[in-house]
Chains A and B, each alone.
Chain A
């Protein structure tokens, strides 16, 4: 079991290393000279030379990569080309704001959709199932910016309960941002929940039709006990990875929704840095996304191990 965890951790570190190389190479592969790209065609040769010097573009790529990664490991991602501040602090600030949305979304979307999916599975082909399945299908088919816009129309314009846009900067406190978190979180949750609901429903149906669930019923156990003790641990296994993928997807989804609400999160930062060609920030955000993806999958794998004794007892002799 320990060796499995260690191997899984090692592969996570390996994945991160590879993605950092890819991120770095992708930026290197931008057409033309990086300094010219940043400064535009009309830049004076002096300015270009100065920037090249600042970016250290004359040194070989692998050397610059190791400098970058060494800094990154210490939290130093370089300096933003636009604001001139440290990239690390800047990204962390925006990331914190996004994490607030993500936390609320994950909390509601995951618990809510699991409960709904399990209910749909247990009431298969009866009205609760039809209702849940139809609604989740609609949620799945509508893009998040449409959901976000509809939510603004309903709950900011028609019923002025929540702010439609955020007027604070990235350094706003949690208390200032909290009222603005709900609508973006809801928009994301609706889209994300659909997949989890459908997956949970399918696997609950599969497991409930299994022989061991019938056996548990015929032992005279209550339905609650049959579902929670016998069916759910197995039914949650395939759902776990869908949850992990969806949580990781949040990073992308957040970019769209944050722009609809003008929310000062990582998505907004990403968009503006792309527009400003702020390469150090883009690199840092790309790396952070990779970390999030890898961590989500790692968590899912470890969770699967907790649920599946076959994985846990591997290597133990019969």
Chain B
């Protein structure tokens, strides 16, 4: 699709180097959004082709227009947007010239979409079976559910969306999309809300269905690992313009445009032993980790902590220490209890057992019962800076409030001054203090979230998935900031993440959680060098690297069962506190290759 090949006879078998005729063809498409009485261009003269059976990835950061372009394949524009030039042709139809009835037939019948958030894309008041049935087609619902590898299809069809897990919901959305056997599948960030293991399952399913049904696919993603894994061609977008288009392997091996280079270089990798520093030219350098000083005191210590939600146990007997100046990462898929643990430490939930202590006091009480002096020492940074800042108050206010509250600053002017200093400390222009959260970018908002947490002069910082919602280049900056701050301020940092590559770059120690139980913990290098527990290996195998030829980081073929027994819980590979929960293999020798 990089070169415009002359129209070959469709009867001709496809020779190497010769592209089949495109089924999707976007030609100098421009889209503008009407705001405040004038047109704001969001897509500029974008052209692309997708051939039958091929997958094109649209890559870019937020605001690049990638989702807008993808939606035009279904003739859909956001409220207030319009086409200002160019055309979109799918299967021979000019999409935006189709009468309403024909357009409806095209949607679902010829092009189908799988959206980002299946939890919100499914109608909450309708049974799943009905929703799939409605999408048309002649394939029975049960067959479709089976095709997306969902268990007990007949029973599942009678469920409502809220009764399914995130991964199951996404599978239902896929079943709905392929119901009428379309020719083109548009996938808009299909796995963004899912954790690595679930993501891997959904991607494998999409790839299998695509090949089985001979679909052309357009994949929108900001995750270059996903793109490398799925796409034949990649089109890089920046501010609504195509920056670079190339075959996947070529793009990842030899990016041409400096923007593509920077984007690729910003992605953290599983084998990075520190945080990457990316130069303007796209040069990448891994900054080595600074070791935690010997004899650094333990700031927080959790011992045998359990947390219950009603009758179910979210965290079950977890112990760990975090020293000053150290980053300890809690990793695990969603539902592993990592966020619950973080929130409990921050005092937002009460543990049902075990002890949690800080250098200066007991943490088993909820935040509002902790003495003020202790409360300010443990601060939480939220995953979502957009929703954790009051939209009607300036960000300066957000930082100033805890300063006054904790008594760090006495007077009003002093508080204002300190707030500006904190904003400077998180590498932002203090002039931003007057702005409202909505007037800042996502990365800037997250920095304000960090500045607000620092206002209490804490010695423990809990970072709950703080970079999950950010673009890769912004993520790299925020991670570097966090790394700098913990050195400057000698912070103990509990870092919650499901992204193993990020964890490897920033954490000194790793604690792997599964169903609320620690299955492995140890120094980051030791765990990554020799992951001992099959669950850790499964997580690492599911992580996708931004390289189409990447081999899985580790093999993952073991079926296992927990073998911890009474006091005999751990095996100890003996590498600076690296220990692994006991397990035994269930793999019969013949069962090899079964995943």
Contacts and interface: CB of A to CB of B under 8 A. Distances in A.
A313 B124 contact: no
B305 interface: no
Interface string B57-86: 000000000000000001010010000000
A276 interface: no
Which residue, of A213, A215, A225, has the highest number of chain B Cβ atoms within 10 A? Answer: A215
B107 A212 contact: no
B74 A307 contact: no
B125 A218 contact: no
Given A214-B76, A217-B76, A218-B76, A308 B125 contact: yes
Interface string A293-318: 00000000000000111100100101
Contacts of A212: 120-124
A220 B112 CA distance: 9
Interface range for B: 20 to 34
Given A310-B162, A316-B163, A218 B74 contact: yes
B134 interface: yes
Interface stretch (A144-152, A182-190, A229-237): A229-237
Contacts of A214: 76, 115, 121
B124 A234 contact: yes
A214 B105 CA distance: 16
Given A217-B76, A221-B134, A229 B107 contact: no
B121 A215 contact: yes
B354 interface: no
B217 to A, nearest CB: 16
B108 A318 contact: no
Which residue, of A221, A308, A309, A318, has the highest number of chain B Cβ atoms within 10 A? Answer: A309
Contacts of B79: 209
A219 B132 CA distance: 10
Contacts of A308: 124-125
Given A212-B120, A212-B123, A233-B125, A309 B162 contact: yes
A137 interface: no
B104 A234 contact: no
B275 to A, nearest CB: 35
Contacts of B113: 215, 218
A194 to B, nearest CB: 27
Which residue, of B108, B112, B124, B176, has the highest number of chain A Cβ atoms within 10 A? Answer: B124
Contacts of B76: 214, 217-218
A221 B121 contact: no
Contacts of A215: 113, 115, 121-123, 173, 176
B125 A220 contact: no
Contact of B104 (A209, A220, A316): A220
A210 interface: yes
Contact of A221 (B104, B162, B164): B104
Contacts of B343: none
Nearest to A221: B134
A210 to B, nearest CB: 7
A91 B166 CA distance: 57
A13 B160 CA distance: 32
A219 B163 contact: no
A216 interface: yes
Contacts of A316: 163
Contacts of A220: 103-109, 135-136, 180
B355 interface: no
B561 interface: no
Contacts of A233: 125-126
Contact of A309 (B105, B107, B117, B125): B125
A307 to B, nearest CB: 6
A222 interface: yes
A211 interface: yes
Contact of B107 (A209, A213, A219, A318): A219
A233 B161 CA distance: 15
A219 B160 contact: no
Contacts of B115: 211, 214-215
B160 A309 contact: yes
A211 B183 CA distance: 23
Interface string A227-267: 00110011000000000000000000000000000000000
Contacts of A217: 76, 107
A209 B165 CA distance: 24
Contacts of B112: 218-219
Contact of B123 (A209, A218, A222, A230): A230
Nearest to A225: B134
B124 A310 contact: yes
A318 B165 CA distance: 9
Contact of B108 (A210, A219, A307): A219
B104 A222 contact: yes
A310 B160 CA distance: 8
Nearest to B159: A313
Given A217-B107, A218-B108, A220-B107, A309 B176 contact: no
Nearest to B116: A211
Contacts of B163: 313, 316, 318
Which residue, of A210, A212, A221, A225, has the highest number of chain B Cβ atoms within 10 A? Answer: A212
Contacts of B122: 212, 215
Interface string B116-143: 0100111111100000001110000000
A229 B125 CA distance: 9
Which residue, of A219, A221, A307, A309, has the highest number of chain B Cβ atoms within 10 A? Answer: A219
A58 to B, nearest CB: 53
B488 to A, nearest CB: 42
B176 A211 contact: no
B107 A218 contact: yes
B110 to A, nearest CB: 9
B374 to A, nearest CB: 38
A219 B176 contact: yes
Interface string A117-130: 00000000000000
A298 B126 CA distance: 24
Nearest to B108: A220
A216 B117 CA distance: 14
B162 A229 contact: no
Contacts of A230: 123, 125-126
A313 B454 CA distance: 44
Contacts of A216: 123, 134
A209 B107 CA distance: 19
Contacts of A213: 123
A213 B106 CA distance: 17
B21 to A, nearest CB: 24
Contacts of B106: 220
Contacts of A318: 163-165
A116 B352 CA distance: 53
B167 to A, nearest CB: 13
Contacts of B162: 309-310, 313
A313 B120 CA distance: 18
6 contacts: A211-B115, A211-B120, A215-B173, A218-B76, A218-B113, A230-B126
Given A218-B74, A221-B134, 13 more contacts: A209-B79, A212-B121, A212-B123, A215-B115, A216-B134, A219-B107, A219-B136, A219-B176, A230-B125, A230-B126, A234-B125, A310-B124, A313-B162
* 7 residue pairs, one from A and one from B, having the closest CB atoms: A220-B107, A220-B108, A233-B125, A309-B160, A211-B120, A215-B121, A220-B104
